[in-house]
Amino acid sequence: ETQKETLGFQTEVKQLLKLMIHSLYSNKEIFLRELISNASDASEKLRFEALSNADLYENDGDLKIRVEFDEEAKTVSIIDNGIGMSRQDVVDHLGTIAKSGTASFFSSLTGDQAKDSQLIGQFGVGFYSAFIVAKQVDVYTRRAGLDASEGVHWSSAGEGEFSIENVELPQRGTRIVLSLKEGDEEFANAFRLRTLVRKYSDHIAIPVLMEKQEMPSDEEEGEEKKADKAPELETVNSATALWSRSKSELTDEEYKEFYKHVSHDFAEPLAWAHNQVEGNLEYTSLLYLPERAPFDLWNRDAPKGLKLYIQRVFIMDQADEFLPLYLRFIKGVVDSKNLSLNVSREILQKDPNVDKLRTALTKRALDMLAKLAKNEPEKYNAFWKEFGQVLKEGPAEDYANREKVLKLLRFASTHNDNAEQTVGLDDYISRMKEGQEKIYYVVADSYNAAKSSPHLEIFRKKGIEVLLLSDRIDEWMMSQLFDFDGKSFQDVSKGELNLGEVESEEEKKQQEEVAKQMEGLTERLTGALGERIKEARVTHRLTDSPACLVVGDYDMGAQMRKIMEAAGQ
Ligand code: ADP
Ligand code: MG
């Protein structure tokens, strides 16, 4: 196929385009950041592929990004000599959204523009953001290694369809030309573009070049001389890998912009941790905690993992070997000297240094969370709301860090008497009654069911705090836990209740007496209910309700039973 053809955008792209133009109206300038970010990704991909096939450089290994403009024609162009795209790549990447779960994300939109606009932020708009300021976008691209005749021209006005045709392109890489909308001509301006490159793309490790601004003395040289000289270019950004720069010279703004580049997220990060480590295991890591959960957090195939660099050469995206699954929401970069440049995913899985890095990075991530919990509890609570459910997979997945992860968990409890999960196990322990030996909890289908469980009566009466668990994962999680800080966990609805030293000798004696008096009743109940129960016994856990059902210490809890029943077991 070399002829011109016109194709329709995927439905989701049309929806995205519409929403985006509305929601990003006041933040138009980010289109430049997105396009430079893509140019940088394309350059890094070429550098990586050229490690095993140097011919791809086509005798031009000097990777750079150019930003040009034409004030009269009202155009802005972003040009890179990166990996480029084949015709098929163009159709796949500039006509569809290649993210799993996209369709369900869009079907979940409400149609209420204001609400949906907020959602778009967590989706990321990338290339399509060009249409915020452009009435037409033309892409000229050729994939490295392909013949000049396999260049591709893609063109669209962003209204439902695009055209595509083959053109001769001697230069590999991608040139994107934006024909600015009426009212957005301001972007075809040297000062404006420079300012934006510095503001949003300073951290890009590939040089971003613009025409050198004329010095007043140049004017004396006369028009003639200038006309036959190629324009002189200069680098506008820092053009060094941000993570390799020293922490003290980096500003919060720079960290935030870099986050948006590596994560493809629109929102700001909640926290980050930047570590430069020397010694046997040399690495630099820059880990970020997102503010919002991505729309596909629960999608198995959702991208996860870090960007892997080896001595500042980009190796791969989504390297998921460096963090455990329960920390899959962490974004960022790891750069290490201890891995060989010709790694592949297969090799990575066998390299013992990967395990060492994973251990180190897991610790970095957990420390970042612990620090946030300690110093900025409000932010930590916000984090917990978004990602707490994922972190709850941790104690079972990561035995070595179990105690650390447990410290990070947050629960609703009878102490606060509201559904907010803000109580940590350390808080609980600090409020334990004298003589209390266990951490008490109850699991139910909902917070309200947990809170009004009859099993809580005796605890409320005695002023003993009980954790109120009602998330889907809770019963399973608790079944994996035994103790924290030397104190065992006790489900208040299970087995015999032993409140330890909290009960006085006198109370115990009294209870035994009551039990004796009631022997006749419990025997009759056991007889009458027969097979349906294990035993009937006098209880001291209730103060208001006359009776309750309890499951045995080693039996499945009610929630787990329901899950098993639903699964047909
Ligand atoms: P993302 O960057 O999150 O993948 P974008 O919408 O920004 O999403 O870009 C979509 C895809 O288009 C990219 O993943 C890439 O495959 C392709 N692409 C965009 N710009 C370029 C470019 N300058 N060079 C090569 N490929 C590009
Ligand atoms: Mg992008």
| Residue with CA at minimum distance from ligand 1 atom 23 | 39
Q: Which ligand is nearest to the CA of 78?
A: 1
Give whole-number Cα distances, 32 to 28, 174, 246, in Å.
9, 15, 26
Q: Is 42 in the pocket of ligand 1 (CB under 6 A)?
A: yes
Phi-psi region of 74 (alpha: psi -120 to 50; beta: other; left: phi over 0): left
Average pLDDT over residues 89-115: 80
Q: Ligand 2 center to residue 38 CA distance, Å?
A: 5
The ligand minimizing its distance to the Cα of 265 is 1
* Predicted TM-score of the model (pTM): 0.82
Q: Point out the ligand nearest to the CA of residue 63.
A: 1
At how many degrees (to 10) do helices 113-123 and 11-23 cross? 110
Q: What is the pLDDT of residue 370?
A: 98
Q: 4 and 165 in contact (C-beta within 8 Å)?
A: yes
ipTM summary value: 0.99
Task: Please give the pLDDT value at position 554.
Answer: 60
Which of 110-114, 238-242, 474-478 is predicted with the least confidence, judged by mean pLDDT?
110-114
**Residue-level pLDDT at 5:** 95
Cβ(85) – ligand 1 distance below 6 Å: yes
> How do residues 379-423 score in pLDDT, each as one tens digit?
999 999 999 999 999 999 999 999 999 999 999 999 998 999 999
Distance 12 CA to ligand 2 centre (A): 17
Rounded to whole angstroms, how far apart are CA atoms 28 and 482? 53
Residue type for position 280: N
Q: What is the pLDDT of residue 546?
A: 63
Q: Which of 43, 93, 137 to mutate to test the pocket of ligand 1 (most atoms within 8 A of CB)?
A: 93
d(CA 420, CA 427): 15
**260 CB burial (10 A radius; 0-12, 13-18, 19+):** buried
Smallest CA separation from ligand 1 atom 4, residue: 126
Tokens of 103: 């369709």
Does residue 264 line the site of ligand 1, with CB under 6 A? yes
| Beta pairing partners, 78 | 67, 176
Structure tokens at 451: 């809170």
Copy the structure tokens of residue 54.
């140097």
**541/496 Cα distance (integer angstroms):** 10
Helical packing angle, 190-201 and 252-263, nearest 10°: 80
Q: Whole-angstrom Cα distance, residue 234 to residue 65?
A: 11
Q: What does the alpha-carbon distance between residue 140 and residue 169 come to, in Å, rounded to a whole number?
A: 8
Q: What residues are paired with 306 via a beta bridge?
A: 319
Strands 233-235 and 208-211: antiparallel
Tell me, using a 6 A CB cutoff, whether residue 492 lines ligand 1. Answer: no
For atom 5 of ligand 1, the residue with the nearest CA is 126
Is the pLDDT reported for residue 495 higher than 80? no
Residue 67 bridge partners (DSSP): 78
Give ∠ CA 536-538-544 in degrees, rounded to 5: 115
User: CA-CA distance, 220 to 223, in Å (whole number)?
Assistant: 9
User: How does pLDDT run across 309-362, given as a tens digit for each residue?
Assistant: 998 989 999 999 999 999 999 999 999 988 887 777 777 778 889 999 999 999
Assess whether pLDDT exceeds 90 at residue 536: no
pLDDT of 418-451, one tens digit each? 999 999 999 999 999 998 999 999 999 999 999 9
**What residues does the ion ligand 2 have nearby, CB within 5 Å?**
38, 126
**Beta-carbon-side half-sphere exposure of residue 385 (alpha carbons within 13 Å):** 10
| CB-CB contact of 225 with 201 (8 Å) | no
- Which of 49, 92, 127, 156 for a ligand 1 pocket mutation test, highest count of atoms within 8 Å of Cβ? 127
Mean pLDDT for the stretch of residues 34-54: 94
**pLDDT at residue 37 greater than cutoff 70:** yes
Question: Which of 24, 41, 139 best tests ligand 1's pocket when mutated (most atoms within 8 Å of CB)?
Answer: 41
Instruction: With a cut of 60, say whether residue 39 has pLDDT above it.
Output: yes
Averaged confidence pLDDT in the chain: 88
Please work out whether the CB of residue 95 comes within 6 Å of at least one atom of ligand 1.
Answer: no
